[in-house]
Amino acid sequence: PYSPESTHMPKGYMNGGVVRIPSGRYTLNKRIKLKRGVRLSGESRESTQLIGYTINGLFYYEDEGRYLPDEFVIENISLWQHESVVPTSGAAISFKHTGLVPEASISVKLDNLIIEGFYNNLIIGDGINLQIGRIDQSKAISDGAVIDSQFFTTSSIFGACYAHSNGGSGWLFKKLYYV
């Protein structure tokens, strides 16, 4: 882990950047692990469409090291699970801590998205600062969005978020103390 006294930057630090996805329809046939600090930006949620052909979700980030604060942005994109592939786990977008001490050092901003047809459409784990706006998510097999704050604080801001036609809850909040 990185400390201010250390002269060695951890592997993976500053790997982020902006990935601009032009208008179009794109197929994804395997999960994509996001690098630290990445920003995925489409032209608009109507014109930039990513179609999933996976059974376990599309984009995920699992923080193992608790190194330095990270900020992720996913905006102006539609994520659709293709009807020919029935998902059995995962989510269109998933952010989780896998280390022992999840602290609120990951910030995630999700804006202007359509998400449809995955096992869960969103999974957000412990200790993640979350800002969600203009999201329309539907047709999840399980719960539409799972915000899980079992052990540590998850700070969340929501605006213009919609859920409909999900198999379970539209928005499932686990163990939140303030909403």
Beta-strand runs (E) in 22-168: 24-28, 32-33, 38-42, 48-52, 57-63, 70-81, 91-97, 106-116, 120-124, 128-138, 145-148, 156-164
* pLDDT given at position 152: 61
pLDDT of the residue at 170: 87
75-114: pLDDT as tens digits: 999 999 999 999 999 999 998 876 655 555 678 999 999 9
What DSSP designation does 45 have?
Answer: T
Whether residue 178 is predicted with pLDDT greater than 90 in this model: the reply is: no
Average pLDDT for 165-177: 79
pLDDT of 115 strictly over 50: yes
Q: In the prediction, which pLDDT does 64 show?
A: 62
Could you tell me which residues come within 8 angstroms of residue 7 by beta carbon, excluding any fewer than 6 positions away? none
| The two structure tokens encoding residue 63 | 């923080």
Give 65's contacts (C-beta < 8 A, 6+ positions apart): 1, 10, 12, 99
- 154 pLDDT exceeds 80? no
Q: How far apart are CA 152 and CA 101, in angstroms?
A: 9
Q: How high is the pLDDT of residue 67?
A: 55
- Give how far Cα 91 sits from Cα of 6, 43, 62, 82, Å: 36, 22, 13, 13
Residues composing the chain: 179
pLDDT over 80 at 145, yes or no = yes
What does the pLDDT read at residue 12? Answer: 43
Lowest average pLDDT, out of 48-52, 125-129, 153-157, goes to: 153-157
Residue scoring higher pLDDT (76 or 63): 76
Higher pLDDT, 57 or 168: 57
Mean pLDDT taken over the chain:
82
